[in-house]
A and B are shown apart, each in its own frame.
Chain A
Amino acid sequence: MREVAIIGVGSTVFGKFPEKLPYELGAEAAWAAVQDAGITPKDLQFAYCANLYGGMVIGQAVLGEIGVTDIEQTNVQNACAGGATALRKAWWDIASGLYDIGMVIGVESITTSPIAGKLITPAKGDISGELGMNMVARFALSQRRYMDVFNISLEQIAKVSVKNHHHGCLNPYSQYKKELTIEEIINSRPICEPITLLQCCPSTDGAAAAVLVSRDLAKKYTNTPVMIVASVLKSGDYSFRWEDMTFSDMTYKCANEAYEMAGLGPEDIDVCELHDAFAVNELQHYVELGFCKRGEEARLIEDGITEIGGKLPVNSSGGLLSKGHPISASGIAQVAEIVWQLRGQAGKRQVADAKVGLAHVAGGEVAGLESGAVAVHILKK
């Protein structure tokens, strides 16, 4: 198996862009990644494009805009884990020796999608959805129990949102650049109690892209490649609903496999982007990713350990909460942030001396299962 490097990343600014069609957002990110990598579009041998709501073969429209045609292109859908899934597939296409250089793109435009402003109705046959379940409620149910059984306070959960919005203020790509207080978060409109509006990620338009190459080819373009040292993707299990619904078994398993694959442990991680669709998720993921033992997660946020400047900065980009969450783009946007951090190009939000970074996403509601997919990638400079 060959080693795989990322030599270029790109992203659009995240936000609401009703005037931009999905392929335009995608092309902007793809072109930024091409320029960052120092390649020409014609160097690309294959591409994966992750998207949920943009319609058929959007990847071809995206790359057609920058003049990339006549190559193997695959479109990927894995809900919020779509971008990370594209990355995982591209990693394997190079690791296996099939290709030497390719691109991954994640793009989502909620504003121009058919679901804009509409109620998301449950899938046919989804009994829970018919009975009033939704994506926020699913995590509100976990949060209620987490707070009551494990003595986590709403203030501690709100602090995650305070931290990530502070980080977002330092990121030019972020949808929100506004400091929030614990009181503002707790007193914002209730969505599914105890989750209030400012504990939720926003709906977002945006795109991100990355150029992947074999280690040998990387030398042609750069002296500072970022290596993908672990790539793991897993589907959900029924066991979650039978056991502890405050603990993501999928994340725990993915993280453990990723650490084993990389020959690293949680103590080696210098910077992390994780799936904070709701503020509570971040505290729970600290435990599942091995950053602390259960019962210690609140201390990580209370003591500033996961802030920029702390020992293990988490969601330096602002995370999904502040940077925004363009569904299929998030997994690649996270990796772009890690690449910038490892190269020392993260500007005001730079984490000092970061050498190893971890990216984690989870996505998709399936009746009975924990989630559709979880992915963990570990990058190293």
Chain B
Amino acid sequence: MKTEVSFKEGLFEEVSGKGVLVGCRCKQCGKVIFPIRKVCLNCLNRDMERLNLSRNGKLYSFTIVHMPSEHFQPPYAIGWIELPEGIRIFSQIRGWQEHSLKIGMEMELAIEKLWDEGEKEVIGYTFRPTLNRGGT
């Protein structure tokens, strides 16, 4: 079995057996930001609190990419997922071949392999269409 390494430290963690994205909330204006920053990008306050973000959101937009990237062979899907906290997360989208994507559809976070790097598996976050809520 390959060694698993995190795509980048501090972006996500496991809570009760499920992965969550870790962001922060400004204690002054309430703006939620991901990934964690020392300064609020909205009001420049420097008093931020750590916040585990919702695992479910809605698809704001998506595209199927037909050009190669550093880590992904085409075609692959990416998109913006809007979380209830009022923040959009840019992410790889998985499960798009099985369930055609539609703006507004329910999406769910997964922590899984992003790509292989030699003997290592790089682990990160993705979103997939939510199936148990009658996702189309």
- Report A's interface with B, CB cutoff 8 A: 119, 121-122, 127-134, 136-137, 140-142, 144-145, 148-149, 189-195, 238, 241-242, 245, 368
Contacts and interface: CB of A to CB of B under 8 A. Distances in A.
Given A132-B71, A134-B69, A144-B103, A245 B61 contact: yes
B60 to A, nearest CB: 7
Contacts of A132: 65, 69, 71-72, 76, 78, 92
Interface of B: 7-8, 11, 35, 41-42, 60-72, 76, 78-80, 86-88, 90-92, 103, 114, 124
A273 B88 CA distance: 32
Contacts of B80: 141, 245
Contacts of B114: 131
Contacts of A190: 64, 66
A130 B7 contact: yes
A141 B64 CA distance: 9
A372 B93 CA distance: 26
B65 A134 contact: yes
27 contacts: A122-B70, A127-B35, A127-B90, A128-B90, A129-B70, A131-B92, A131-B124, A132-B76, A134-B67, A140-B63, A140-B65, A141-B63, A141-B80, A142-B61, A145-B61, A145-B103, A148-B103, A149-B103, A192-B64, A192-B65, A192-B67, A194-B63, A238-B42, A242-B87, A242-B88, A245-B61, A368-B41
Contacts of B76: 132
Nearest to A149: B103
Point out which of B63, B66, B90, B114 has the most chain A C-beta atoms below 10 A from its C-beta: B63
A42 B63 CA distance: 53
A113 to B, nearest CB: 19
A192 B60 contact: no
Contacts of A136: 65, 67
A238 B64 contact: no
B66 A191 contact: yes
Contact of A131 (B60, B68, B91): B91
Contacts of A119: 68-70
Contacts of A121: 70
Nearest to B62: A144
B8 A127 contact: yes
